[in-house]
Amino acid sequence: MSENCLFCKIANGAIPSKKVYEDEEFFAFHDINPAAPVHLLLIPKRHIVSLADIQPEDGAWLGRMMALVPKLAYAHGCNPGPQGGFRLVANTGIEGGQEIDHLHFHIIGGARPWDKRAAPAA
């Protein structure tokens, strides 16, 4: 827990969020300003600023975090199969567009009606 960190406060419930998942290590919730029909944020509960701080010894928990990504994506609206899928984004640092200094994965998906390759709506 880092004082004055918004995502630490969301992870410990001090600031409310639309939670979709929680376990001992991780917390996931809906982005307050979604960029697509599905826009989740997945964070480790422990405060780590960004991917720039990752070391080889972080591999095990980072692997568990990665394994959550498709599970959460498909459980919360991303469509399966080659016509579906999702984007995984981890903005890192100022030039990477990171605004909240607590590591987070954006899980983004849902129908893309503007995409000419997308299947026509049923």
* Residue 32 touches which of Zn ion, ligand 5GP, none (Cβ within 5-8 Å per kind): ligand 5GP
Identify which of residues 17 and 79 has a Cβ nearer to ligand 5GP in the complex: 17
Separation CA 69–CA 73 (nearest Å)? 6
* Contact by Cβ (8 Å): 11, 108: no
The two tokens of residue 82 are 């080659």
Residue of 30, 46, 47, 112 interacting with Zn ion (CB under 5 A): 47
- Measured CA to CA in angstroms, residue 108 lies from 29, 40, 57, 60, 114 at distances of 12, 7, 28, 24, 15
Q: Is 62 helix (H, G, I), strand (E, B) or coil?
A: helix
Identify which of residues 12 and 83 has a Cβ nearer to ligand 5GP in the complex: 12
Question: Cα–Cα–Cα angle for 120, 121, 122, nearest 5°?
Answer: 110
Is 47 known to be catalytic? Answer: no
Separation CA 65–CA 3 (nearest Å)? 23
- Of 39, 76, 102, 104, the active-site residue reads 104
* Residue 98 touches which of Zn ion, ligand 5GP, none (Cβ within 5-8 Å per kind): ligand 5GP
Residue of 76, 102, 104, 106 interacting with Zn ion (CB under 5 A): 102
Identify which of residues 80 and 87 has a Cβ nearer to ligand 5GP in the complex: 87
Residues serving a catalytic function are 104
Residues within the interface to Zn ion (CB under 5 A): 2, 5, 7-8, 47, 102
